[in-house]
A = this chain, B = another copy of it.
Amino acid sequence: MPQVNVGLIGCGTVGSGVARLLVQRAEMFRRRLGVPLRLQKVAEVDEARFQATGLDRELLTRRDLDILEDPTIDVVVELIGGIDTARDLVLAAIERGKHVVTANKALLALHGNDIFAAAAQAGVEVAFEASVCGGIPIILTLRQGLAANCIQELLGILNGTTNYILTQMTQHNLPYEQALTEAQAQGFAEADPTLDVEGVDAAHKLAILTSLAYGARIDFGAVSVAGISQIEPLDLQFAREFGYTIKLLAITREDNQRLEARVHPTLIPRDHMLAGVSGAMNAVYITGDAVGPLLLSGAGAGMMPTASAVISDILDLTRNLALGIKRRVPPLGSEAALTTSRTVKPLDEVVTNYYFRFAALDRPGVLSQISGLLGKYNISIGAVIQKGREVRGAVPIVMITHEAQEANVKQALAEIDHLPVVSPPAVVYRIEDPHLDAAQI
């Protein structure tokens, strides 16, 4: 009976959880797999971190090479994070014929193509369930569960930090800065929250999901990204008046053979299943042409949820190793996907519904000037709220549009911002509401 040996590189938060589960559940996993699975070595330079796991000191090494060059190690688990060192490490493991498990979304978004190509050449596997939405089995679902489907669209709340902040802002009417401070105090946001709040982390994850959903590589640089740091409580309130809530959504969809891939604050109907995903929770809402809409929601980060996903990959690899097979399911669902690439539609060509807020002087004819310019660019207004309350010396005019094209919206808003009766800049958010243009608004 073969035994599968795991080398873990990086014993931080997630690494500690993985190490502990592998040791404490060895017997449970052996029963599940029929073969023993063993944590062979842990590489970590910070000895205190390792010691906190309470595991046998014999397992520890300070040198990654001790894992890479150990011929008894079958599976290397990369949990150091970051990009360049992680990339070198993963490629070195692949080169040595080792299978790799990683939770590193930035690495895969930026260097996935190289890594997958190297793994294909070396005939090893790269598994990455933990890279998107922590413990939610979204990779498994896209790669296998929905394999009969053409994916029509995928909307995700892929970042817990921003969802926590937006939830706080919405529920307690807080300004962004205060909600951020609160999130930092609660451990939901890092001291430097940039990657999270500016949408980059969600974009990394979206790039991975897009490749899986559409069975093709995409260029990460083509994913358009906007974060939440500019959101004002006022817009959360107006959104609510129109029946919406604002979430940082990651969106990918196929439209006339072309893919969209974008991350930005988005108005969604308050009765949408994603609207109820609050706090630091993550969720993915997928529409497959056979299965219809499917929601997966759960903890998107944290020690044990992420460890749960890492271990599920290790168990899956172990089943293959025990049977002497590999690459049963290639990383993007098919070998063909690794040599297929698809273009992401430029944001300017996206057609969607919009939310606008203009700060206008309270004079007759303002609405007519604004709507005239919108009309000029083929943007049709679905609903308007104009209220007497002054905000910084101006009156807010808030609109929901019918479907319009991004390029037209940009031009129209640029012209509107030049109107003497308007204080620029206009606030603009995109809306995801399949019923908006169907219904009377």
- Seen from chain A, the residues whose Cβ lies within 8 Å of a Cβ on chain B are 17, 21, 25, 28-29, 31-34, 129, 134-137, 140-141, 144-150, 215, 273, 276, 288-299, 302, 304-305, 307-309, 311-312, 315-316, 319-320, 323, 325, 328-329, 333-336
Which partner residue on chain B sits nearest A150 by CB separation?
B28
Q: Is the CB of B145 within 8 A of A137?
A: yes
- For the complex of A and B, 9 pairs with smallest distance between CB atoms: A137-B145, A148-B311, A135-B291, A294-B298, A290-B308, A291-B308, A290-B304, A32-B334, A295-B297
Q: Quick one: given A32-B147, A312-B148, are A294 and B297 in contact (CB under 8 Å)?
A: yes
Q: Is the CB of A32 within 8 A of B215?
A: yes
Q: Quick one: given A288-B308, A298-B291, A298-B295, are A144 and B140 in contact (CB under 8 Å)?
A: yes
Q: Quick one: given A148-B312, A323-B325, are A336 and B31 in contact (CB under 8 Å)?
A: yes
Q: Is the CB of A137 within 8 A of B140?
A: yes
In the assembly, what is the distance between CA of A309 and CA of B145, in Å? 7
In the assembly, what is the distance between CA of A167 and CA of B144, in Å? 32
In the assembly, what is the distance between CA of A386 and CA of B96, in Å? 73
In this complex, the member of A145, A292, A302 whose beta carbon has the largest number of chain B beta carbons within 10 angstroms is: A145
Q: Is the CB of A334 within 8 A of B34?
A: yes
- Residues in B neighbouring A311, C-beta threshold 8 A: 147-148, 290
27 A-B pairs in the complex with CB atoms less than 8 angstroms apart: A25-B148, A28-B150, A33-B334, A134-B291, A135-B291, A137-B137, A137-B141, A137-B145, A137-B146, A140-B140, A140-B141, A288-B308, A289-B304, A290-B304, A290-B305, A290-B307, A290-B311, A291-B305, A291-B308, A291-B309, A294-B298, A294-B299, A296-B296, A319-B328, A319-B329, A325-B325, A328-B328
Pick from B21, B276, B302: contact of A148, CB below 8 A. Answer: B21
Q: Is the CB of A17 within 8 A of B290?
A: yes
- Residues in B neighbouring A325, C-beta threshold 8 A: 323, 325
Pick from B148, B215, B273: contact of A297, CB below 8 A. Answer: B273
Q: Is the CB of B144 within 8 A of A312?
A: yes
Q: Quick one: given A298-B294, A334-B31, are A308 and B140 in contact (CB under 8 Å)?
A: no
Q: Is the CB of A292 within 8 A of B305?
A: yes
In this complex, the member of A17, A290, A295 whose beta carbon has the largest number of chain B beta carbons within 10 angstroms is: A290
Query: Would you give the shortest CB distance from A181 to chain B, in whole angstroms?
Result: 25
Q: Quick one: given A32-B334, A333-B32, A334-B34, are A294 and B145 in contact (CB under 8 Å)?
A: no
In the assembly, what is the distance between CA of A276 and CA of B283, in Å? 15
Which partner residue on chain B sits nearest A275 by CB separation?
B276
Query: Would you give the shortest CB distance from A245 to chain B, in whole angstroms?
Result: 13
Pick from B29, B34, B146: contact of A312, CB below 8 A. Answer: B146
Pick from B147, B215, B292, B312: contact of A145, CB below 8 A. Answer: B312
In the assembly, what is the distance between CA of A276 and CA of B293, in Å? 15
In the assembly, what is the distance between CA of A280 and CA of B290, in Å? 16
Query: Would you give the shortest CB distance from A255 to chain B, in whole angstroms?
Result: 19
Which partner residue on chain B sits nearest A304 by CB separation?
B290
Which partner residue on chain B sits nearest A25 by CB separation?
B148
In the assembly, what is the distance between CA of A33 and CA of B325, in Å? 15
- Residues in B neighbouring A323, C-beta threshold 8 A: 323, 325, 328
Q: Is the CB of B315 within 8 A of A144?
A: yes
